[in-house]
Amino acid sequence: MSEPVGARVPTAASRRLVVLLADGLRADTARDYMGYLQALNEAGRAQWRSLRSELPSLSRPLYATVINGETPLTHGILGNGQAGQRLARHLFHSLDAHEVPAAVAAYHWFYELLAGEVFDPLRHRDAVPPGCGIAAARWYWEDDYPDSHLLADAEALRRAHLPLEEPSLLFIHPMGPDLAGHLHGGESTQYSMSARKLDMLLAQLLPRWHAAGFDLLLTSDHGMHADHMHGGPLPVEREVPLVWAPHDGAADLPLPERQTEVAGWILERLGLGGRDGRAHREDPAA
């Protein structure tokens, strides 16, 4: 399940990629309320489908699955309380091995999965975990940190740290839908409004990303029940969107069939590996 360390060999498949993991966004909510992305879909410039999340449908386990390519039962992150536990393998290791830069704007639990230590906001706000191929990072720790601010953080990182005309990854993890769902439930006006707001932000940002040669993959970790929670096997808790919006309009690309395939699919788009989600080396510190 590991890959040899070596220099990256550019391929025709190499892309510049934005991965946006919208926390807690249900597939049906995205479909019904994200009009800009649906406009791209109707114009043939985006591809929509859905994925079923792995179980338990909780945040920290599924963050790990998205970047690791393994189920929670396999990678061992089984609950939200496992603060400071490091993932032994993840896609950022491959980026480091092949010298492909990444910028990350995400919730602090991602920092903990990569760094293997409990996040300290006074020390780690912009800390870059070693050996992860990350050129720059911005971590937030309050669930109500606005999505608008986080996407602005991400765009600033992209412009400052990702080189032109080379494969690179911008990884963004906003919390708006998850927060609205926990406060008001997955059938609430506030929850649907969080999807509308994210869509309006993307209408401002995606044209800029496309102009810079970046493609967008949007998905989520889990859905949201009307009872303000998730974690179980019901479709509203597991069905999440998967949206591919490439800068060149070539939207007819095979997409991952399972959440465990997302990491490998990202690496393939960056010209680094196959689609099994496990084309990444062991963490030497593990």
Phi and psi dihedrals of 218, rounded to 5?
-110, 130
Can you give the pTM of this predicted structure?
0.93
> Is 276 buried (19+), middle (13-18) or exposed (0-12) by CB count in 10 A?
middle
Domain 16-269 indexed as CATH 3.40.720.10: yes
Judge whether 101 and 163 are in contact, CB under 8 Å: yes
- Report the distance separating Cα 122 and Cα 140, nearest Å: 11
Q: Check residue 142 and give left, alpha or beta (phi > 0: left; psi -120 to 50: alpha).
A: beta
- Report the distance separating Cα 29 and Cα 69, nearest Å: 25
Give DSSP secondary structure letters for 147-202. Answer: HHHHHHHHHHHHHHHSPTTS-EEEEE---HHHHHHHHH-TTSHHHHHHHHHHHHHH
Judge whether 107 and 114 are in contact, CB under 8 Å: no
List the strands of the sheet with 239-245, edge to edge.
47-52, 239-245, 214-219, 16-21, 168-172, 102-107, 134-140
Which residue spans within the chain are E strands per DSSP?
A: 16-21, 47-52, 102-107, 134-140, 168-172, 214-219, 239-245
Q: Does an H or E element contain 114, and which?
A: helix 108-115
CB atoms inside a 10 Å sphere around CB 121: 11
Digit-by-digit pLDDT tens for the chain (286 residues) are 333 233 344 444 568 999 999 999 999 999 999 999 999 999 999 999 999 999 999 999 999 999 999 999 999 999 999 999 999 999 999 999 999 999 999 999 999 999 999 999 999 999 999 989 899 999 999 999 999 999 999 999 999 999 888 899 999 999 999 999 999 999 999 999 999 999 999 999 999 999 999 999 999 999 999 999 999 999 999 999 999 999 999 999 999 999 999 999 999 999 987 554 454 445 544 4
Determine the distance from the C-alpha atom of residue 119 to the mean position of all C-alpha atoms in its chain, rounded to a whole number: 19
Judge whether 134 and 100 are in contact, CB under 8 Å: no
- Report the distance separating Cα 147 and Cα 143, nearest Å: 10
Single-letter amino acid code for the residue at 284 = P
- Report the distance separating Cα 8 and Cα 100, nearest Å: 8
